[in-house]
Structure 1
Amino acid sequence: MIYPQNFEQKIGFDQIRNLIKAKCLSTLGEEKTDGMAFSSDYEEINCRLEEVVEFVRILEEEDEFPSQYFFDVRPSLKRIRVEGLYLDEQELFDLRRSLETIRDIVGFLQKEDEEDEDSHSPYPALHALAADILVFPQLIARINNILDKFGKIKDNASAELLRIRRELADTTGSISRSLNSILRSAQAEGFVEKDVTPTMRDGRLVIPVAPGMKRKIRGIVHDESATGKTVFIEPAEVVEANNRIRELEGEERREIIRILTEFSATIRPQVPAILQSYEFLALIDFIRAKALFCMDIKAVKPAFEEQQIIDWIEAVHPLLQKSLAKHNKKVVPLDIELTSRQRILLISGPNAGGKSVCLKTVGLLQYMLQCGLLIPLNERSHAGIFENIFIDIGDEQSIEDDLSTYSSHLTNMKNMMKYCNGKSLILIDEFGGGTEPQIGGAIAEAVLKRFNQKQTFGVITTHYQNLKHFAEDHEGVINGAMLYDRHEMRALFQLQIGNPGSSFAVEIARKIGLPEEVIADASEIVGSEYIQSDKYLQDIVRDKRYWETKRQNIRKKEKQMEDTIARYQQEIEELERKRKEILQKAKEDAEHLLQESNAKIENTIRTIKEAQAEKERTRTARQELADFKQEVETIDTAALEEQIARKMERLREKQKRKEERKNKKAETAPMQPKAKPICTGDYVRIKGQTSVGQVLELNGQNAVVMFGLMKTNVKTERLEHADPPKTSNVMAKATFVSSETQEQMYQKKLNFKQDIDVRGMRGDEAIQAVTYFIDDAIQVGVSRVRILHGTGSGILRTLIRQYLATVPGVAHFQDEHVQFGGAGITVVDLK
């Protein structure tokens, strides 16, 4: 249960919802975001949180997650449930691409972890979502048989469509040939200009003719130019063919509609299952948007427990954080703890000290968590679950309901007392305010007593002294203070639990400049006892803050000492391990030596026997060798022990000297210089690359950099300083010339036109002009050019094409399409 109805607006969750919607890829995810709701089911919340945690890992670690085509085709699919309706080409194209995305996402989430011996999915929560999702491979294949990769109906989508389009192409080609023949005849007789080419009007191929010559060509006048100097005539010879084209185009449209209608009829029974797959796509879009938002606010999943607990470390209000970040400021993090022993936190302190922000932070983060969102705090934090959250904050005055501010507060208190229990969280700002302080404080104390009796949890802000005393005297309620620096007279926005806070009313009044006699009168009115108690309270808070700082410093020193001890312990263990390895190696060497000695002894004895020596002498030799073996073992072991001890001592001394040098170096190390800003003329490289270029100009955060023969715009944050290229004097001169050439090439590329008109030129003039034109085109890297030579007798066209056939940089040349000039223009493709 959430109370009141405008709870989300009061804590700012409506803004969170809008920020998440902005990160959705389609209306699929936006609808899910609108439906995001508070839950009190532990398993459901934990599952939602795990989904977001896993998707954050995907966004941080994976590059291949399919997120390109999130199309919402649900309205189109619902429409074709009606018999006879069909998906058009664009809808079918969107259906195919989005079904492919669903298929790829399911495949991605169901892949097994290659590093896991048990072959489990690395994303178990998301894997469970994709477990029963249908991916429709046959449907995708069927659409691929109908549409090409650009979303257009294929020629072979049906045999009838193939026949129609072939006839359409043949008819268009015959019209083109007929028009070119008529045009050449008209040009030969002088009825039409030499450079005229067929054009298109109202979907029909026509010839542009001067008005005075329109009677010379038999046909239909379809249009005239805006100036009236040109009329467009469809020759009588091609009228029937053009009419046939219109008929074929109508047949083509009807056949396409038939194909789409037939396809829509086949998928109509599968529409419910397809819609279910789109629900999965919507959910993935929603989870992805939540993950992106949580990454923006640096949110994590705390230790989530199925009980009522708030034990937060360094919690941050995400909206306040984003707002302050725009002004290069940071939020002071909040440490707060609510447990079964201290359920209700009563926060006091000066106005504008952060009490309301603290209360809203608790409300917003707990609500976000139970809506399935990660929250910005330290990952060592612990968070629980509440069945109900109640809030009373701000001015609730209502003219329509004839409620004053205080009446509205009392109405909220009544509802909270009626519905709250041990699994509820209440958030009340300025508890007891809005009426006469004495009775207001008394009512607030009575209400607080009921809350405590019902074992409810809560965060309450107040200025009333009687409530602070109540918290001191009753178990389950604890005081807290928003800290204030009374020397600098500024709020510290830090929450300290354990003692009540002072309102610093006298100090703030004195800072503002209220007359001292007024402050003295006020102090006399409330009495010296109240002033002294408030002063003692300030002193307690100050002293506690002082000792808290001391305690933190001691804890930091202890941590450093523990780290040092752990490091030395690790080094000692490593030395001991090396010592054992050396001993083992020495024993192995000694054993090997003894084995060799035994072999030698046996050889000696065998030699003695072969020499038939006396038995007594043989026994003596064996005894001497045994004594020698024992002596070697004893002496070598003692020597090795002594040698190892010396080596260990040297290792310790060496490690100690290394630590001393390291500490001395750290103490005397100079500050790192700040990075030098990028300026015009500097030599730079793109971070992570090796090519060195020179900055030509700066435009705000962008720089124009010349890398070799290429200019490029680069963000200055992506650049770093580099040493200028090392060149000799000769090379320096060559570089200077090359720079001028680079500028000329850059200008040439900007001014280059991809068409040349050589009509009216003699053959040798035309060839020379085309030669220069093709050379320039190859230099600036153009892939296609056009040469306008007209038709005429065809001599100029033949000469030019003979030349093009000899140029190595020319890949291919052909006539322009009949609609754009036909044989009067040669299109050249360059390598």
Structure 2
Amino acid sequence: MLYPNNSVDKLGFTEVKELIKAHCLSEMGQQMVDKIQVMNNYDLIRKFLSQANEFKNILVNDAPLPIHHFFDIKSLATKARIEGVFLSEDEFFQVQASLNTVFAVISYFNEREGQYPDLEALFEHLPIEKVILKHIDRVIDNKGKIRPNASRELMDITAGIAKAEQEARRKIDHIFKSAGSSGWTADGSLTVRDGRLCIPLLAENKRKLKGFIHDESASGQTVYMEPEEVFVLNNRIRDLEFERRREVVKILTALTDELRPYVPLLLSYHSLLTKLDFVRAKALFAIDVDGEMPVLDNDAKIKLVNARHPLLLLSFKKEHKTVVPLNVQIDEANRVIVVSGPNAGGKSVCMKTVGLLQMMTQAGLLIPAAEASEVGVFKQIFVDIGDDQSIESDLSTYSAHLSKMKNFVENANGKTLILIDEFGTGTDPQFGGPIAEAVLESLNHKKVKGIVTTHYSNLKIFASNTEGLENASMLFDNVQMKPLYMLEVGKPGSSYAFEIAQKIGLPQNVLNLARNKIGFSQKKVDTLLVDLEREKKELYDTKVAMEKQQRKVNALLEENEKLKTYYEENKRTLISEAKQEAKNIILNANKLVENTISEIKSSNADKDKTRDLREKLNVELAKNTVKQPTPKPAVDNEIKIGDWVKLNDSETTGQVMEIARDNLIIAIGDLRTVAKRNRVQKVSKKEVPKEIRRGYTNTDSMANFSPEIDVRGKRGEEAIYEIEKYLDKAIMMGFGNLKIIHGKGDGILRKLIREYMRKYKEVDRMEDEHADRGGDGITYVYLK
């Protein structure tokens, strides 16, 4: 239950529905959006939320759902139900297209059985009667036109019309040419008048031909005549067209009769298409507002994490701004949040965000909040926003507020969500404050839940001393004098009335006068709140900085622990491998020594044999001896033009051509590259292979390369060959344009060269030289 009825407008729910409607493909879907309402059935809400969430997952993560056509087949099925009535070609096409969409959608979900259970439930037990499509396809083609072979009679009539039209055209063409050669026709060609093909004749010649005059020009000098022979043929065509129309009606009537038994099934298909369009629109809106499915709870409670007002979010997106997220929790411990703080600080937006997101959730819509958010189900939502004064009902602003409070107190319970903006305003604060406090106390006894915004100090004090009520404030930067739009639960907030007035520029004497007029206690409380807020802000900033620093420390500790573990594991592995290798060396050495002694003994200490065995032993010993690296001589690391260098991350070697601060321009073959000084190492010329050094003999000639080539007097193939080598070199060296001198002659060489150059994707455009400097005898080639 919503009270009052205009709560949906006050909280922006009506505007949300309009935005969803804009995503609908059909009028039926829009009608379903109009019927969206706040529900309190837990199972129904969960199902609608899950359907929207599943469709959102399809749109974001899966292949597109094959939804192409949405037509109102309900009205067509209702029409087909009446005996003697038939559907038109276009109406059958709408049924045909809609059924193709239905069957494609069902096939899509069948391929993903079990992946989207709540969407699959939309067409559960729905039979697939493709025989309906077969009946329609036999008569209607995929463009929505009746097939020429829909019946034998239609084929004959269509052939007769084509033949008669051909004969009529041939006849009138013949007469037109004959009249034209006699000089009877006016300027122009055959023209259509009253749906008939006519010959334009000069008015003075109209009696020289037999026929029917359909029209004349504005000046009266030209008449438009249908020759007598053609007139008879056209009448025959018209008769055949009437026959064709009658045959088409007969065919469509028979097809409608075949469709009639399937009317109940067509209505079921219509229902599926409407629901799909409806859920699709909800999912698209959810994507627009970054909507997620919260955890739904059957209890009356709210826990919003990083929640944002959807309408504010869309508005800020257009301006490339971000919305400050809201975090709020309403449960049995903190049933009513009393929000205070400065004007324009975001109190009302905070309350409206909670109310609108609650409405959206209970209407089955995804909300712009983190998935960790928990949203309960309330039986009643009571809203008091705005003055709602009424001349007709003789209600003032305060009377309207009191009327609502009366209804709240009488009907609220533990399953009620209340949202009251500027509680107690509209009358003398001396009396409005106590009345508001009494109403709040009564509502608290009824265990209601909700949010109340206020500036009244007595309500802030009451909330701080009453179980079930919790103070909260919208943070304010009292140094820069601007709101932060962040909700801080646990303490009331100052209205910052004097601070804001001072910033706006109210005269100091007026401010001093105002300060003297407020009570000492009130002044002390407000000053205390300002100081508390300042200290809270400082603590918050310090906390954020400490958390950031702690995260860095934790990351470093974690990385250090990983490295320590890695080193320990590798240390054990290396020691184990070294021990095993040493063991193997010793075993092999023992075997070798034993074998050597044995062979020496068996050979009776033959000198040659002994020498061979000793050499063999020394070879094996050398294999297992670790060679100590010989220290390399000191290398001059200063790099100069002409030095040879090697890139650190590859074996590529090149010669330094230029030095620009920390950048080196290096020639590598015919190419040039730029590298940072710390990414190369200097090498001696001896370390560079001879074939690479030979490749740099033309370095000077590359530096002197001129982007101009003269191919005058050369044969086509020879010229193309020269230009090809020249162009490749120019591209590698990064030249922007080239000049090719080919001469004028007959223009054959020029044409051949330009056609060849167009094959290069690096060529942007070609132009002739200025007429005074060679004209089309020279081509300028501009490279990309």
TM (norm. structure 2) is 0.72
Report the CA distance between 1:376 and its aligned residue. 1.5
Partner of 2:519: 527
CA distance in structure 2 between the partners assigned to 1:536 and 1:444 by the alignment: 24
DSSP-derived class of the 1:344 partner: strand
CA distance in structure 2 between the partners assigned to 1:125 and 1:737 by the alignment: 57
| Aligned partner of 1:351 among 324, 343, 349 | 343
- Within a 5 Å distance, the mapping from 1:183-332 to structure 2 comes to 183-192=176-185, 198-332=190-324
Partner of 1:480: 472
Q: Compared with structure 1, are the counterparts of its residues 536 and 175 closer, same or farther at alpha carbon in structure 2 (3 Å cutoff)? A: same
DSSP-derived class of the 2:740 partner: helix
Partner of 2:46: 46
Report the CA distance between 1:478 and its aligned residue. 0.6
Partner of 1:448: 440
Partner of 1:161: 154
CA distance in structure 1 between the partners assigned to 2:82 and 2:176 by the alignment: 53
Question: Per-residue displacement from partner, 1:196-250 (whole Å, max 9, x unpaired)?
Answer: 7544333333333222222222222233334433323333223332221111000
Q: Compared with structure 1, are the counterparts of its residues 198 and 514 closer, same or farther at alpha carbon in structure 2 (3 Å cutoff)? A: closer
Partner of 1:823: none
What letter is aligned with 2:231?
V
Partner of 1:85: 85
Partner of 2:416: 424
Q: Compared with structure 1, are the counterparts of its residues 560 and 413 closer, same or farther at alpha carbon in structure 2 (3 Å cutoff)? A: same
Q: Compared with structure 1, are the counterparts of its residues 573 and 478 closer, same or farther at alpha carbon in structure 2 (3 Å cutoff)? A: same
CA distance in structure 1 between the partners assigned to 2:501 and 2:177 by the alignment: 100
Report the CA distance between 1:728 and its aligned residue. 4.0
What letter is aligned with 2:108?
F
Partner of 2:538: 546
Partner of 1:800: none
Report the CA distance between 1:256 and its aligned residue. 1.0
What letter is aligned with 1:153?
I
Q: Is the 8 A contact 2:478 2:534 kept in 1?
A: no
Q: Compared with structure 1, are the counterparts of its residues 130 and 596 closer, same or farther at alpha carbon in structure 2 (3 Å cutoff)? A: farther
Partner of 1:34: 34
Report the CA distance between 1:595 and its aligned residue. 12
- Within a 5 Å distance, the mapping from 1:114-125 to structure 2 comes to 120-125=113-118
Partner of 1:563: 555
Q: Does 1:388 align with 2:383?
A: no
DSSP-derived class of the 2:104 partner: helix
DSSP-derived class of the 2:167 partner: helix
DSSP-derived class of the 2:450 partner: strand
Question: Per-residue displacement from partner, 1:704-760 (whole Å, max 9, x unpaired)?
Answer: xxxxxxxxxxxxxxxxxxx9996643399978995569xxxxxxxxxxxxxxxxxxx
Partner of 1:149: 142
Deviates more, 1:339-348 or 1:184-193: 184-193
Partner of 2:64: 64
Report the CA distance between 1:339 and its aligned residue. 2.0
What letter is aligned with 1:489?
M
Q: Is the 8 A contact 1:430 1:460 kept in 2?
A: yes
Question: Per-residue displacement from partner, 1:447-479 (whole Å, max 9, x unpaired)?
Answer: 211222222111001122222121111111110
Report the CA distance between 1:327 and its aligned residue. 4.0
CA distance in structure 1 between the partners assigned to 2:189 and 2:420 by the alignment: 83
Partner of 1:750: none
DSSP-derived class of the 2:171 partner: helix
| Aligned partner of 2:739 among 729, 742, 746 | 729
Deviates more, 1:549-558 or 1:529-538: 549-558
CA distance in structure 1 between the partners assigned to 2:363 and 2:767 by the alignment: 63
Report the CA distance between 1:384 and its aligned residue. 2.3
- Within a 5 Å distance, the mapping from 1:592-741 to structure 2 comes to 728-730=738-740, 738=765
CA distance in structure 1 between the partners assigned to 2:17 and 2:82 by the alignment: 36
CA distance in structure 2 between the partners assigned to 1:148 and 1:347 by the alignment: 66
Report the CA distance between 1:554 and its aligned residue. 1.8
Partner of 1:460: 452
Q: Compared with structure 1, are the counterparts of its residues 43 and 593 closer, same or farther at alpha carbon in structure 2 (3 Å cutoff)? A: farther
DSSP-derived class of the 1:397 partner: coil
Partner of 1:646: none
DSSP-derived class of the 2:101 partner: helix
CA distance in structure 2 between the partners assigned to 1:368 and 1:331 by the alignment: 19
Report the CA distance between 1:405 and its aligned residue. 1.7
Partner of 2:368: 376
CA distance in structure 2 between the partners assigned to 1:453 and 1:730 by the alignment: 96
CA distance in structure 2 between the partners assigned to 1:106 and 1:546 by the alignment: 59
Q: Is the 8 A contact 1:99 1:135 kept in 2?
A: no
Deviates more, 1:504-513 or 1:408-417: 504-513
CA distance in structure 2 between the partners assigned to 1:512 and 1:217 by the alignment: 94
DSSP-derived class of the 1:215 partner: helix
Q: Is the 8 A contact 1:484 1:491 kept in 2?
A: yes
| Aligned partner of 2:397 among 375, 400, 405 | 405
CA distance in structure 1 between the partners assigned to 2:169 and 2:317 by the alignment: 67
DSSP-derived class of the 1:478 partner: strand
CA distance in structure 1 between the partners assigned to 2:97 and 2:588 by the alignment: 78
| Aligned partner of 1:489 among 462, 481, 484 | 481
Question: Per-residue displacement from partner, 1:298-341 (whole Å, max 9, x unpaired)?
Answer: 22223333323322232211212333444444332222121221
Partner of 2:76: 76
Q: Is the 8 A contact 2:80 2:259 kept in 1?
A: no
Q: Does 1:436 align with 2:428?
A: yes
DSSP-derived class of the 1:205 partner: strand
Deviates more, 1:551-560 or 1:580-589: 580-589
Q: Is the 8 A contact 1:133 1:280 kept in 2?
A: no
DSSP-derived class of the 2:97 partner: helix
Q: Tell me, which stretches of 5 or more residues in structure 2 are unaligned? A: 603-623, 627-732, 742-752, 769-784
CA distance in structure 2 between the partners assigned to 1:69 and 1:577 by the alignment: 64
Report the CA distance between 1:592 and its aligned residue. 10
Partner of 2:694: none
Report the RMSD for the aligned CA atoms in angstroms: 3.4
Q: Compared with structure 1, are the counterparts of its residues 339 and 571 closer, same or farther at alpha carbon in structure 2 (3 Å cutoff)? A: farther
Q: Is the 8 A contact 1:110 1:130 kept in 2?
A: no
Deviates more, 1:222-231 or 1:399-408: 222-231
Partner of 2:714: none
What letter is aligned with 2:475?
L
Deviates more, 1:446-455 or 1:729-738: 729-738
Question: Per-residue displacement from partner, 1:333-387 (whole Å, max 9, x unpaired)?
Answer: 2221212211110111222222111111111111111111111123333332222
DSSP-derived class of the 1:30 partner: helix
Q: Tell me, which stretches of 5 or more residues in structure 1 are unaligned? A: 113-119, 612-635, 640-722, 742-831
Q: Compared with structure 1, are the counterparts of its residues 419 and 381 closer, same or farther at alpha carbon in structure 2 (3 Å cutoff)? A: same
CA distance in structure 2 between the partners assigned to 1:587 and 1:81 by the alignment: 93
CA distance in structure 2 between the partners assigned to 1:726 and 1:518 by the alignment: 73
Q: Compared with structure 1, are the counterparts of its residues 171 and 581 closer, same or farther at alpha carbon in structure 2 (3 Å cutoff)? A: farther
Partner of 1:632: none
Q: Does 1:174 align with 2:174?
A: no
Q: Is the 8 A contact 2:58 2:64 kept in 1?
A: no
Q: Compared with structure 1, are the counterparts of its residues 264 and 387 closer, same or farther at alpha carbon in structure 2 (3 Å cutoff)? A: same
Partner of 1:95: 95
